[in-house]
Structure 1
Amino acid sequence: MSDRPAPYPPASVTPTDRAEAPARRRRPFVRRLLGWIVRAVLWFLLVSVLWVLVYRFVPPPFTFTMAGDMLGGHSVTKKWVPLSAIDPDMPRAAIAGEDARFCLHHGFDFTAIANAAYRNAKGGRIRGGSTISQQTAKNAFLIQGGGYARKVLEAYFTVLIETLWGKRRIMEVYLNVAETGIGTYGVEAGSIRYFRHGAGTMTPAEAGRLAAILPLPKKRAAKAPRGFTRRHGNAITRRVGVVRNDGLDGCLR
């Protein structure tokens, strides 16, 4: 007889083992997927914070809206000027026309958002509730469309610029990257286009007219405006004095 031990009987594979095998193979893939997602989120946070920090000191050289104009066959005209070189009535007009509580909120005016939603539900002209901070975040870092996904990113960048920039820088960037006509960006280029002089010597009436076209710069013009644009511009001009006298621009002084 042989002294070799008898071989072990082959292990039987049960139905339970066969069912658990694919699950064991899926678990490493799920872990890898979650790892990729976490790394992507961390990289996005790092890059976005650095991007905002750079723009705190460096004028945004280009925006996605400008790229859209160029793709549409339009040339882009822009000229960066510091806030100190812009007539004070221009930021006052922007506050009067776009965001009366600019110096009071921290990026979001929830009262204005609720009022806009209520008015829009009643029909008529669609009104927005976005603050100047939100519009700056959109204009400097994002595209104009994009639906709810863009709104989420807009809120995120709004928090960043309110935290890392402060109100003066937000207004400075806003007045330099906001579209003021087809292919025209910033109040300096807009003032030259419509009034034949720079933004440093604007009158309250000119500031009011330029602020009136900011919501729809491709459909409105500040030179010889008519209809709603003219009425809205005149109303903003009248409110410029209110902004100054009531200190609604106090965070810019």
Structure 2
Amino acid sequence: MAKQAPINKRRPLRAVMLALAGLFLASILVPRVLPPPVTFLMVSRSLEGEDLSYRWRSLDDISPRLVEAVIASEDSTFCAHRGFDMKAIEKALKANEKGGRIRGGSTISQQTAKNVYLWPGRDWIRKGLEAGYTVLIETLWGKRRVMEVYLNVAEWAPGVYGAEAASQRWFGKSASDLSAREAARLAAILPSPRRYNASSPGPYVRRRASRVQAAMGTVRNDGLADCVLG
């Protein structure tokens, strides 16, 4: 009677590990060319009974003014850094040590990684994963794609995600037709989109939008958005 060949117990484990690695790689590469269907935040809000308005638009169909506005407001070194603004992080840590209102130091790249791949929260596990995903999308997507995804998945009002849905919600027009003033207002409410109003802003948003619009000129003149618009 012929002897059976010994079973290699490592083969099933190796196959599982290769499959998981393939799925992980696909999760990074697929959003490089295809719109993310939904995000964890969208699903979470929907499960809470909130309506969902999410309309993907290519970067070519979004006003360049909005790109300038979010760079001016959220991440002035977007085109220069490789995912992390160490000076902003250092300032945030020092400010947070003094107590009071927690200040963030996240770049647009970090926010994109968080929005696409991770659950809401501030725990250290999530922050570690955010850093890893940030490195990957900076390396494999490039700046233009990072900005495109960010503008399409950011929350701009309760249940409103992306520049197109936000433009329709607040100004009744397409994201491609946003003026500099309207773009500045949208960028001004990004830190607290569930609290502030872009179309009929209060004093705080008006002041912040004015500062953003002024900074947009610097972004344009100094080429701070050239990695996206150039």
Q: What TM-score comes out, normalization by structure 2 length? A: 0.89
Q: CA deviation at 1:41?
A: 7.0
Residue 52 of structure 2 is aligned to residue 76 of structure 1:
yes
> 1:218 deviation in Å?
1.2
1:46 aligned partner: 22
SS of match in other structure, 1:180 = strand
Q: Does the residue aligned with 2:193 lie in a helix, a strand or coil? A: coil
Query: Matches of 1:105 and 1:160 in 2, distance apart?
Result: 14
Q: Distance in 2 between matches of 1:40 and 1:224?
A: 54
C-alpha change, 1:123 and 1:62, in structure 2 (3 Å) is: same
Measured in 2, the distance between the counterparts of 1:125 and 1:160 equals: 30
- Alignment pair present for 1:188 and 2:164: yes
Identity of aligned residues (%): 49
Aligned equivalents of 2:102, 2:224: Cα separation in 1: 26
Q: In the alignment, what sits opposite 1:98?
A: 74
Cα distance between partner residues in 1 of 2:93 and 2:23:
33
| Worse overlay, 206-215 or 174-183 | 206-215
Q: Give the deviation of 1:224 after TM superposition.
A: 1.3
- Give 1:125 deviation, angstroms: 3.0
Q: Between the two structures, name the one with larger relative contact order (CA 8 Å, sep ≥ 6).
A: 2
* Cα distance in 1, alignment partners of residues 197 and 15 from structure 2: 46
Q: Deviations over 1:75-111 (max 9, x none)?
A: 1001111111111010110101100000000001111
Secondary structure of 2:156 counterpart: strand
Q: Tell me the CA shift for residue 117 of structure 1.
A: 1.2
Contact persistence 1:49–1:160 (CA under 8 A): no
Give the length in aligned residue pairs: 219
Matches within 5 A, 1:25-36: none
| Separation in structure 2 between the aligned mates of residue 207 and residue 77 of structure 1, nearest angstrom | 19
CA distance in 2: counterparts of 1:157 and 1:66, whole angstroms: 19
* CA 62–146 in structure 1, closer or farther in 2 if over 3 Å, else same: same
Give, in whole Å, the separation in 2 of the partners of 1:228 and 1:42. 52
2:41 is aligned to 65
Given candidates 103, 123, 130, the residue that maps to 1:127 is: 103
Q: Which residue of structure 1 lines up, in the alignment, with residue 115 of structure 2?
A: 139
Cα deviation, residue 153, structure 1:
0.8
Distance 1:227 1:41 in 2: 55
Q: 1:45 to 1:100 in 2, by over 3 A?
A: farther
Pair 1:113 & 2:93 matched = no
Partner residue of 1:11? Answer: none
**What's the CA shift string for 1:61-83, capped at 9, x where partnerless?**
11110001111111100111111
Counterpart AA for 1:221: N
Aligned to 2:204: 228
- What residue number does 1:26 align with? none
Structure 2 residues without counterparts, runs of 5 or longer:
1-8
Equivalent residue runs for 1:202-217 within 5 Å: 202-217=178-193
Code of the aligned partner of 1:116: A
Q: Which has the larger radius of gyration?
A: 1
> 1:28 maps to what in 2?
none
Residue 147 of structure 1 and its aligned partner are, at CA, apart by 0.8
Question: Structure 1 unaligned runs (5+)?
Answer: 1-31
Q: Are the counterparts in 2 of residues 102 and 131 from structure 1 also a CA contact under 8 Å?
A: yes
Q: Which AA in structure 2 matches 1:171? A: M
Q: Which residue of 2 aligns with 1:12?
A: none
Distance 1:65 1:45 in 2: 25
Matches of 1:54 and 1:101 in 2, distance apart? 27
Q: Using the alignment, how far apart are the partners of 2:170 and 2:178 within structure 1?
A: 11
What is the distance in 2 between the residues matched to 1:136 and 1:172? 10
What is the alpha-carbon root mean square deviation over aligned residues?
Answer: 1.9
